[in-house]
Amino acid sequence: MTDPAGPAGSAASAARSEPVVLGTPAALREWRSGQLGSVGFVPTMGALHAGHGSLIERARRENDLVVVSIFVNPLQFDDAADLEAYPRTLESDLERCRTLRVDAVFAPSAAALYPRAPEVTVHGGRLGTVLEGASRPGHFDGMLTVVAKLLHLVAPERAYFGQKDAQQLALVRAMVADLDLPVTIVAGATLRDDDGLALSSRNSRLDAHWRAQARAIPRAVWAAAQASADGADAARAAAVRVLEESALRVDYVELVAPETFEPLDPGAAQGLLLIAAWAGEVRLIDNQLLTFTTAGPDGARPQGLGEV
């Protein structure tokens, strides 16, 4: 049953000034069993920024209730130092959730969500072993496992993911389709800072020097878009040239088929540009859908890419 006040303005949401904070699966199940109306779910690892905020705002518009999870998932880290360094800002995250009128925040400990080491996990198949999967072995299996658990616990009608993590988004969609999970996956556009860098929780770990160097990533995206009229090879080469002139340590620059992440077919009309690079100790990713035409990009910037 949907509240007569509508998804964005239900009486329950309007009356609540603080989100309910739930720390265990049992507490989440109990809370969820008492709720009526549609649920929108935004899974996060915390350190919330405007990109997360845009997903939460969309979930607020499209659903009666909004649930946000905040959980730094150890299963998707292949580097213990990276797990330890990942930013954790629970108090400010809860304040942002309050401002955005989130109804419930699921913020479990690792022990609460994984009372024992899981014997059964979700495997990402071929797509989970290439690109990000090759650079971070086991990362996508860990991500899919926790997302499957969270979708089961929250039981949302819709779950919201950002397009910046393009391979993650593709894998979640594949899991939902292959396992017939009863949820609609909604993608939110990549948001960028004024300097063009895609918003990421990891950006907070950049000092001034590496922040300046990291701007080469959106410049590479823009260079590829400008060169796309000359085809996929020219677009990729343009991105590589920009990155080679920076101090970044490049992991990969690839153009793939947007739906399958397979190598791009000759003559393809579109390709997904994927970039991963290290700015000092911080690993950053970006992506952009490119269209290869004979007319040229006529000065239009890729979606979400401001002045860089």
Examine the residue annotation and report whether 52 is marked as an active-site residue of this protein.
yes
How far is the C-alpha of 43 from the C-alpha of 24, rounded, in Å? 15
Specify the CATH number for the domain of residue 115. Answer: 3.40.50.620
In a domain, 298, yes or no: no
Separation between Cα atoms, residue 139 and residue 128, nearest integer Å = 8
pLDDT in tens, 122-148: 999 999 999 999 999 999 999 999 999
Are both 209 and 182 inside the same structural domain? no
Please write the tens of the pLDDT for every residue from 85-97.
Answer: 999 999 999 999 9
Same domain, 17 and 137: yes
Domain assignment present for residue 304? The answer is no
pLDDT digits (tens, 9 = 90+) for 194-227: 999 999 999 999 999 999 999 999 999 999 999 9
Q: Are residues 93 and 37 in the same domain?
A: yes
Same domain, 258 and 177: no
- Look at residue 267 in the predicted model and tell me its pLDDT: 87
Please state, in angstroms and rounded to a whole number, the distance separating the CA atoms of residues 142 and 156: 21
Tell me the C-alpha distance between 55 and 103, whole Å: 14
Is 76 among the domain residues?
A: yes
- Alpha helical stretches, state H, 102-230: 110-113, 132-135, 139-154, 166-178, 208-214, 216-227
pTM across the whole model = 0.89
Percent of the chain with pLDDT over 90: 86
Q: Residue 39 belongs to what H/E stretch?
A: strand 39-44
In a domain, 2, yes or no: no
Count: domains in the chain: 2
Domain-embedded: residue 21? yes
Residues 212, 151 share a domain: no
**Shared-domain flag, residues 140 and 239:** no
Residue 241 has pLDDT above 80, yes or no: yes
Using pLDDT thresholds of 50, 70 and 90, give the confidence band for residue 293. Answer: confident
Residues 71, 25 share a domain: yes
Residues 207 and 178 in one domain: no
Q: Which of 52, 123, 139, 209 is catalytic?
A: 52
Whether the per-residue pLDDT at 251 is higher than 80: the answer is yes
pLDDT tens-digit series, residues 43-71: 999 999 999 999 999 999 999 999 999 99
Q: Residues 52, 178: one domain? A: yes
Q: What six digits make up the tokens of 54?
A: 């845009």
The enclosing domain of 217 has a CATH number of 3.30.1300.10
Give the domain extent around 267. Answer: 201-291
The verdict on 147 and 173 lying in the same domain is: yes
